Amino acid sequence: MMKGKVVIITGATSGIGKETALSLAEMGATIVIAARNIEAGEKVKKEIIQATKNNNIDCFQCDLTSLDSVREFCDSFKEKYERLDVLINNAGTWDFEGRKESKDMIENIFAVNFVAPFLMTHILIDMLKKSAPSRIISLSSGLHTGTINFDDIEFKEDWSGFKAYRQSKLAIILFTRKLANDLKDASVTVNCIHPGMVSTKLGRDAGGVSKLFFRVFGKKPKVGAETSIYLASSPDGGTITGEYWYKCKVGKASDESMDLEAAERLWKVGLDYIGAVK
Ligand SMILES: NC(=O)c1ccc[n+]([C@@H]2O[C@H](COP(=O)([O-])OP(=O)(O)OC[C@H]3O[C@@H](n4cnc5c(N)ncnc54)[C@H](OP(=O)(O)O)[C@@H]3O)[C@@H](O)[C@H]2O)c1
C-alpha cells in the first residue's frame, strides 16, 4: 500500500514519530528521517531496517531551532529524491524550565512547533504538488486552547511554557485549515492530529506532577501513533482535508481554530518569519 511512497518524518528519533516511521516502513514506504541529532537518527534508521527488512530508510540532519538547518535539510532531500508523497510535521517541543530562544532568536516553542514546519512545508510544497496525490500531516494537540497572541506572539512579556505550547498547537490547526483551502484543487490533503496523552520524552521532561501524569495515564507511543499512520496510509487521509483528527476520526477542535481570518493573519506572520523562501 505504501510501496514506492516517499515519506518525510520530523522527530522520528523517539516517541510518536519513531513508531510512525516504523509502521510506515513495515508497509513498504521509503522513510526519510529529519533528525536534530544525526547519531540518534542513524541509530533509529538501523533499528527500523533491522525490524522491517526495508532498506529504504534514510536520515538527514535537521535542527528545527535553525531555519538554515531546515533549508539545508530540504536541499539535501531535493538533491536525492524526485518525489515526496507524505510530509509529517511531527517533531515538537515544550520548554518546562523557562523561556528560551532558537538559533534565530525566536521564542523556542514557537520556532520549533510552528515556524520551522511552516518553512519546511513552504519549501517542499512544489514537490508535494508535483507528486500529487500527496499529503501533509502535522501534530497539533488537544491543548490548543485560547487565541493567537498577535500583540506578542513570542510572549516576550509574561511567557509560560503552557501558553507558548498551546498557542503553537493552535497555530498548527489554523495553518492546516488555511493551507488545505489553498490546495483544494491540487490533490494535496492537509490535516492535523491530536494524538491523545502519550507517554513519551515530551511528558517525561515535564516536572513533578505532570511527569507522573504522563507516565500513569499516557498511552504507549505505538497507540499514540495510530492516527498519524492512518492519515499517511488510508484512503481517508487522501480525500479528507483541512481537518483535526483524533483516534483516526475527524475530531472537534476549538471554535478559535475555525477562525479563517486569524489563519490568514497568522500566515502573514509566518511569512515574515521565514523571509524569502528559496
Ligand atoms: N506526548 C503527548 O502526549 C502529545 C500530546 C499532544 C501532542 N503531541 C505532539 O506529538 C509530537 C511528537 O511528540 P512526542 O510525544 O513523540 O515527543 P518526543 O518523544 O519528545 O519526540 C519529539 C521528537 O521531536 C524531536 N525534536 C524536538 N526538538 C527538535 C528540534 N529542535 N529539531 C528537530 N527535532 C526536534 C525530538 O528529537 P530528539 O530525539 O533529538 O529529542 C523527537 O524526535 C509533538 O509535536 C508533540 O507536541 C504529543
Q: State pLDDT tens for residues 69-115.
A: 999 999 999 999 999 999 999 999 998 889 999 999 999 999 999 99
What is the reported pTM?
A: 0.97
The percent of residues above 70 in pLDDT, for the chain, comes to: 97
Looking at the CA of residue 112, tell me the nearest atom of ligand 1: 31
Provide the pairing of β-strand 244-246 with 188-194: parallel
Q: Per CATH, the architecture of 6-274 is what? A: 3-Layer(aba) Sandwich (3.40)
- 38 C-beta closer than 6 A to ligand 1: no
pLDDT band at 233 (very low <50, low <70, confident <90, very high): very high
Concerning whether 244 is annotated as a catalytic residue, the answer is: no
- The Cα–Cα gap between 255 and 71 comes to 34
Q: What is the pLDDT of residues 52-65, one digit of tens each?
A: 999 999 999 999 99
Asked whether 246 and 227 are in contact (CB, 8 A), the reply is yes
Question: What's residue 56's pLDDT?
Answer: 98
pLDDT value at residue 213: 73
Q: Which three cell numbers stand for residue 140?
A: 497539533
Contact 121, 51 (CB under 8 A): no
Among the options 81, 165, 244, 273, which is catalytic? 165
- How many Å lie between the centroid of ligand 1 and the Cα of residue 77? 21
Q: 242-256, pLDDT tens digit by residue?
A: 999 999 999 999 999
Residue 91 CB less than 6 A away from ligand 1: yes
